[in-house]
Every structure is written in structure tokens, then in C-alpha cells.
């Protein structure tokens, strides 16, 4: 018995630890890339661009065209219902 438990189904600690570390490694990379993106936005701001608008642009390019149309349609329906058109 390796570590004080007598249940054969006990957890393989080393194996588990390896998975946890691999997850933490990729999450570290993700965090780095997120900071890199933040710096790009700061750089754009220094260059005189509005970061908020750039975010919208990126989001628009991401967004599926059909989906966008559908959302706009629903929005217009609601606006009409409220007399805000």
C-alpha cells in the first residue's frame, strides 16, 4: 500500500497531479495571450484609435451574419411594440 489507504480504487495521485499541472500550464498560456491582447488594445489607443470600437469591429467579424440579422429583427419587433421605433 502506497499511502495509507486500503481501498484498491484509491486515486492514482501522480496521474491526477499530472493532469492538474497540464491544465494549469495551458491556463498560464491563455492568461499570457489575454494580456497580449490587452496590450494590443493599449497600443491601438496610444495610436489614437478607440479600443471600444475596435472590440465591436472584432465582435462583428466574429458574428455570423444571419444571426445578426435575426437579432436585429427581434429587436425591431420589440422596439415597435414599445413605440420606440
Partner DNA sequence: TCAGATAAAATCGCGC
Partner DNA sequence: GCGCGATTTTATCTGA
DSSP-derived secondary structure letter, 54: H
Q: Is residue 76 a contact residue for DNA (CB under 7 A)?
A: no
| CA dihedral sign of residues 77, 78, 81, 85 | negative
Closest to DNA by CB, 2 vs 24, is 24
Q: Quick check: 52 binds DNA (CB under 7 A)?
A: yes
Count of positions on this chain that bind a second copy (CB under 8 A): 58
Q: Report the interface residues with DNA, using CB under 7 A.
A: 27, 30, 34, 38, 41-42, 45-46, 51-52, 55-56, 58-59, 63, 73
Amino acid at each position: 500500500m502506497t499511502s495509507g489507504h486500503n481501498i484498491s480504487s484509491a486515486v492514482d495521485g501522480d496521474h491526477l497531479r499530472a493532469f492538474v499541472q497540464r491544465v494549469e500550464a495551458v491556463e498560464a498560456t491563455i492568461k499570457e495571450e489575454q494580456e497580449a491582447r490587452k496590450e494590443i488594445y493599449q497600443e491601438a489607443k496610444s495610436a489614437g484609435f478607440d479600443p471600444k470600437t475596435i472590440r465591436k469591429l472584432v465582435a462583428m467579424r466574429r458574428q455570423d451574419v444571419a444571426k445578426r440579422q435575426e437579432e436585429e429583427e427581434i429587436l425591431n419587433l420589440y422596439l415597435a411594440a414599445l413605440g420606440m421605433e
